[in-house]
Chains A and B, each alone.
Chain A
Amino acid sequence: MDLLIIEGVTKVFENTKAVDNISLRVPQQSIYGLLGPNGAGKTTLIRMITDILYQDKGSITLNGIPDNSQRSLYIGYMPEERGLYKKMKVGEQLLYLAQLKNLTAKQAKEKLTYWSERLSVTDWWNKQVGELSKGMQQKVQFIATVIHEPKLIILDEPFSGLDPINTNLIKDEIYNLKEMGATILFSTHRMEQVEEICERIALVNKGKLILEGAVGDLKNRFKEHKYQITCAETPDTVLPDAPFEVLNQIGKQLIIRIKEGYHSNHILEYFIGKGVHIHAFHEILPSINEIFINQVHQNSNQIPVV
């Protein structure tokens, strides 16, 4: 079942189409990546999902209810530009933000106790947010995002500015929230994180959706039939009748592309036939980063900012 269904959503600012007829489906209990260069329309799309902006056209359905005005109660949103009241104490601030999401003060306190122990911010309860380190502020912001147990959690660049320890901590929490039933929409332009975390991705550029699908499927779809093979000794020059061409050779390591009509076993047979000892052999799949750059290039002549 799809938790979030976006159909034909368009948003026009003055004369520019910030979001142009985008449709996508985010399956329940998945981690979904929304990718795109800066200014692609990600933030505008997210603001429409969170009900901060209204779409000019199309519909947004959350949890089976189209264009529900109570939608924001089921969403937890952490914007890219973090913001908290600097002069307010951590505890008061979290309590306030939780109550704005319709939790009662009592519920909010219970949840806050759980989360602040879990992310070890309890000691900071009575400190003003302005006194906290940046990493600590991020944790507070994260708690504010998930405190009301939203069905959909939208994280815009959640790891920017975090050290590796806190990055891992938040990453674990994301997996944990998913296990507990939440769906995570993850907006970023950091591709290596997408590959690691996301199950499905949507690629947006200049307001348009240019690619959508499961990460593995996309990699297969865009693979270039390249393999890497490592031999025990430097092989003889490859003959032209081989089932592949050599793209690059560094000593005992070759990067090759298979010719039309052949498959990987033919490569192995060729080398074995030549009496070469093979140490390692694997297919090279394109990284999401390469797909991203390729696709953005195809859709525009500009070099995307990655």
Chain B
Amino acid sequence: MHKIWLILQREYVSRVKKKSFIITTLLVPIGFLLLFAVQFILIAFNTDTLRIVVKDDSGKFAQRIKDTETLYFKKSDEQLNLLKLNYRQEGFDGVLYIPQLNLDNPNGIVYFSDKLLGLSAKSYIQSEIKDELRKLKLSEMGVDDKVYNQVQKLQVNISEEATGGGSSANTGLATAAGFIMGFLMYMVIFIYGAMVMRGVMEEKTNRIVEVILSSVRPFQLMLGKIVGIGAVGLTQFLIWVVLMTFINLGLGVFAGGYLSKMQGGGMSLGSGGFNAGNEQQMEQALFIAQSMQEQIESLPMATMIFGFLFYFLFGYIMYAALFAAVGSAVNDESETQSLTFPVSLPIIISIFILSAIMEAPNSGLAFWSSLIPLFSPIIMPFRIAFGVSWTQLLVSMTLLVLGALAMVWLAAKIYRTGILMYGKKVTLPEIGRWLFRSAA
């Protein structure tokens, strides 16, 4: 035990001290922050107001299109041809022409400019005109404005409740959260598994392994390495979680302050885009943001975090053992290709299964693949987001632990033979024979 601890320490410390570790650990949250900052700056400091002259032949819309932070509208009664010629001299960016509209077939609205209107401005104007058109059409049919406004505010949400002891959550959100977890797991198993493989190979090609093995058992060396690198992974996660939380909190405070300052300005970071300068839309955006928050809270967060850590730990141990076996059997990087393929295959299959069960998280395929140890580290975290019964979870976790232990045991047999084998290229059948040999 003492020696495994020493090895674990070395593996851990030598990696955590590396510049590359420190840089990636800090860069990921900083990148995250930068992404937010750029988005924020684009929104906040995009003060270029688009000035538009509106020529409204129908006379019903021009006064209805309200100005926003970035859009300024001016009604004009001049001739369209003159406006088209002169708008630039008068300091406008374009001319919006609204003809006499047929309410049943409102065609003929044109924007004249030498610059494109831009997606958000276009959709804003369209929605304003559409809104007004609806009102006109409805009042034509005898519906009052007040009634219309009330109808507009009606909202429907289907909330789901699981009956099998799971928790309730929004399906779309659960799918997204589950997929992100599954995919993240796929990435970390590959990244840290490959790290173990390279570590084993380095020791073998460096020939230090013979010095170390004159002090410790091959199994101790392998296990110390796997657990040490796993601890590096957990450390990185932990730092990310802490940094992200701080960044989130900071952003929240900042954005909150900004929002209150901009009251009525129609800016909402929560939905990440423009919102119109009317209060109704502002309220809507806040409502969406709020219900998002509630829905995220409705996910089984504690189980998800626990599940992710558990499945990471044992899934990683299982695959890292296999990668260690591969690293021990090869002489150089070029030989790893053919041997990593059979090891990566189940991980890749897991991702295929994951996309297949996205639409059906409770199908038979989802159920069985979340029990099989080779697949469960990627499939089960996905299912947890939808709520899984404790019995299923327990069976899957037990099977995974057993699977991981079995894999470590098998890998150790390959490892202790491979690590001292130099020169010739090994084939899969040969590795198979190592498994059935007694002591090395």
Chain A residues with a Cβ under 8 A of chain B: 47, 50-54, 72-73, 75, 77-79, 81-88, 96-97, 99-102, 141, 144
Contact = CB atoms under 8 A, between A and B. Distances in A.
Which DSSP category, helix, strand, loop or mixed, fits chain A's interface? Answer: loop
Interface in B1-39: 2-3, 6-7, 10, 14
A132 to B, nearest CB: 14
A79 B211 contact: yes
Nearest to B204: A83
Which DSSP category, helix, strand, loop or mixed, fits chain B's interface? Answer: helix
Nearest to B212: A100
Given A52-B214, A144-B211, A84 B206 contact: yes
Classify chain B's interface size: 20 to 34
A100 B420 contact: no
Contacts of A54: 439-440
A72 B208 contact: no
Contacts of A83: 203, 206-211
Given A85-B206, A96-B6, A96-B10, A101 B215 contact: yes
B215 A97 contact: yes
Of the listed residues A81, A100, A102, the one surrounded by the most CB atoms of chain B closer than 10 A to its CB is A100
B216 interface: yes
B213 interface: yes
Contacts of B10: 96
Given A82-B207, A85-B14, A97-B212, 18 more contacts: A47-B420, A50-B213, A52-B210, A52-B213, A53-B420, A53-B440, A72-B214, A77-B211, A77-B214, A79-B207, A81-B210, A83-B207, A85-B208, A100-B3, A100-B7, A100-B215, A102-B2, A144-B211
Given A53-B440, A72-B215, A100-B216, A79 B210 contact: yes
A144 B210 CA distance: 13
A53 B212 CA distance: 13
24 contacts: A47-B210, A47-B420, A52-B214, A53-B420, A53-B440, A78-B211, A79-B207, A81-B207, A81-B210, A83-B206, A83-B207, A83-B208, A83-B209, A83-B210, A84-B208, A84-B211, A85-B206, A85-B208, A96-B10, A99-B6, A100-B7, A101-B215, A102-B2, A141-B211
A83 B209 CA distance: 7
A87 B215 contact: no
A13 B7 CA distance: 29
B69 to A, nearest CB: 55
B214 A86 contact: no
A196 to B, nearest CB: 27
A100 B6 contact: yes
Contacts of B7: 100
A114 to B, nearest CB: 20
B420 A52 contact: yes
Contacts of A144: 211
B223 to A, nearest CB: 14
Of the listed residues B206, B208, B211, B214, the one surrounded by the most CB atoms of chain A closer than 10 A to its CB is B214
B14 A88 contact: yes
Nearest to B433: A14
Contacts of B14: 85, 87-88
A81 B422 CA distance: 11
Contacts of B206: 83-86
Interface string B211-240: 111111000000000000000000000000
Contacts of A99: 6
A187 to B, nearest CB: 13
A99 B13 CA distance: 15
Nearest to B421: A13
